[in-house]
Amino acid sequence: MMKTENFVSEAILRSVEALYGKLDGEQLQIQKTRKEFEGDYTLVTFPLLRRSRKSPEATATEIGEHVVAHTPEIRAFNVIKGFLNLTLDASFWQARFAEIAADAAYGTAPDTGRTIMIEYSSPNTNKPLHLGHIRNNLLGYSVAQILKANGHRVIKVNLVNDRGIHICKSMLAWKLYGGGETPESSGMKGDHLVGKYYVEFDKHYKEQIKELVAGGATEEEAKKNAPIMREAQEMLRRWEAKDPEVYELWQTMNGWVYKGFDVTYKELGVDFDKVYYESQTYLLGKSIVEEGLQKGVFYRRPDNSVWIDLTGDGLDEKLLLRGDGTSVYMTQDLGTAYRRFEDNKLDDMIYVVGNEQNYHFQVLKLVLKKLGYAWSDHITHLSYGMVELPEGKMKSREGTVVDADDLIAAMVQTAREMSDELGKLDGCSEEEAAAVSHMVGLGALKYFILKVDPKKTMLFDPRESIDFNGNTGPFIQYTHARIRSILRKAAEAGIAYDAPVTATYLPEEIELVKSLTEYPATVAAAGENFAPSIVAAYAYELAKQFNGYYHDHSILREEQADVRCMRLQLAQQVARVLKSAMALLGIDVPERM
């Protein structure tokens, strides 16, 4: 498919070089014409004045006259100061539209041969997924879809944090206060049950600290010596020593959590090609640390701990291995990164992790670089901001998190109520109404989160996200359903619309075609910037544009058969591109609503 920008820039280049001689690698400054001016593309002529030796207006006029005389597809030009605005002919846009309609894979790039791994989700097995995890999962999955559409081979991975003191806290609290409770006996999802005991641990821990402080201990001493904390630490030591009793309890409770996570992932519509477990990867980095010691990149302190001094790089000293030989997060991440690049011959590795870990990834890349791994430059930390609610921040230990399952259920319920109120489900069977409510509720949640630039902290407002008229998922979903309804009615009335179009396009129809031609560039930009928000903004603008057009122009009631055929084809392609764009965000669109 011809890229419009390439066609325009080549036409201008031919004229500029015919008028002023060959450009020695100089780039022409061409951009889309701003909405308040007439034209499709604009050339900035100021850099060419030293060649033309004329005023900006005279230079722009001279180039404009030459381009229009020698390029039939460019029908007109106008000059505003030193800016040359060019207008393409309707036949040019008609030819672009025919290419879009004929391209079954429109919006997807050819295979690049590059392999990219993207890690997202990375939950702890001591609590259920919450609103913060939702942003992580949706962002990771959407970026993976966008990278695939850009022609890359993508491997989606999850690294489950299934070991450590926080896991032992849930295990110990269950052992002390659980009375043998199981997901089956309690009727609770396994991840919720384990999360309940994480909160329970914190409650007893705080009580014990209070008692110790009342008995004369300092706050610091109380935190260190609280019996329940000492027991949890002992449990972790026993786990690392593979104590059969502790290990069995760990496997059982983690098993409950994984079953729970799988339900949530399915509801969210995200998946993984490979799952890594920290319990299997935390030993990987020790050999790399050993290698770093031999190379003199790392040094050992008297207490036997291993460090790297990054003060010369404007950072600090970083611990890589504790004195007792146990690993830290950095140890594990070094080993995991090495294994992933070696095993999968990766070109790039993307970590989707919250912005509180910015420093960690800065250090990780630098340490790998100092160890001599050239691929360290191909690690990207896709950092994202926190999700806040109108009520404020969330805390897992205190049980004030917004649980992912509860939020999904509430979104589906709200979608059902609002769709009913607006009559969107009239004539639907109960089964259809339930399916549409689920699709709309999840679409609202995903779109509301993904339309925001990942780097920004965001405020999530569930009701606002389901507004059928704003910049929301349901608005775009409804636009798609509306077009599908028009196309169904055409089929029912026996109106065929697959013949080649001969009708002349109205300016608003040309504007819709222009928007459709911008879809591949949108997908490319979203891939370069790891930004689903670019796709979301495009889908919203296209849906809004179509609704404005449909409000002013009849499609099915249009009496001229060739005009009606052209409008049906245009609507069909808008629906196809909307569906494709929303799929990149992990959002389904309904056929009817």
Residues 43/60, Cβ–Cβ less than 8 Å: yes
Of 391, 122, 397, 147, nearest to 265 by C-alpha is 122
Residues 321/306, Cβ–Cβ less than 8 Å: yes
pLDDT score for 499 = 83
Phi/psi of residue 156, each to 5°? -95, 125
What is the pairing mode between strands 153-160 and 115-119?
Answer: parallel
CA distance 403 to 407: 6
Residues pairing with 86 in the sheet: 41, 77
The pTM (predicted TM-score) of the whole model is 0.91
How many residues can be counted in the chain? 593
Domain boundaries in the chain? 4-88, 164-272, 291-326, 404-584
Residues 6 or more apart in contact with residue 9 via CB below 8 angstroms: 28, 30
Longest CA span, the chain? 94
Task: Just give the CATH number of 404-584.
Answer: 1.10.730.10
What is the pairing mode between strands 299-300 and 30-32?
Answer: unpaired
Beta strands, E only, 33-99 = 41-44, 74-80, 83-88
pLDDT score for 416 = 92
What is the pairing mode between strands 74-80 and 379-384?
Answer: unpaired
CA distance 145 to 161: 25
Q: Which residue bears the tokens 């997202």?
A: 120
Phi/psi of residue 520, each to 5°? -60, -40
CA distance 223 to 209: 6
- What fold is seen in the domain 4-88? Gyrase A; domain 2 (3.30.1360)
CA distance 310 to 320: 12
Q: How many other CB atoms sit within 10 Å of the CB of residue 54?
A: 14
Compute CA distances 524 → 121, 146, 258, whole Å: 24, 8, 35
CA distance 341 to 336: 9
**285 CA to centre of own chain:** 29
Of 592, 266, 271, nearest to 435 by C-alpha is 592
pLDDT score for 172 = 98
Residues 120/137, Cβ–Cβ less than 8 Å: yes
Rounded (10°) CA dihedral 134, 135, 141, 142 = 140
Q: Which residue bears the tokens 């002023």?
A: 20
- What is the mean pLDDT of each successive set of 10 residues along the chain, which is 593 residues long? 81 96 87 93 95 96 97 96 95 93 95 98 93 94 98 97 92 97 96 96 96 94 95 92 96 97 96 92 85 95 96 95 85 91 95 95 96 96 86 49 86 89 85 92 95 89 80 95 96 91 90 96 97 98 98 94 96 98 97 86
Residues pairing with 321 in the sheet: 306, 327
CA distance 106 to 382: 27
Q: How many other CB atoms sit within 10 Å of the CB of residue 451?
A: 21
pLDDT score for 501 = 80
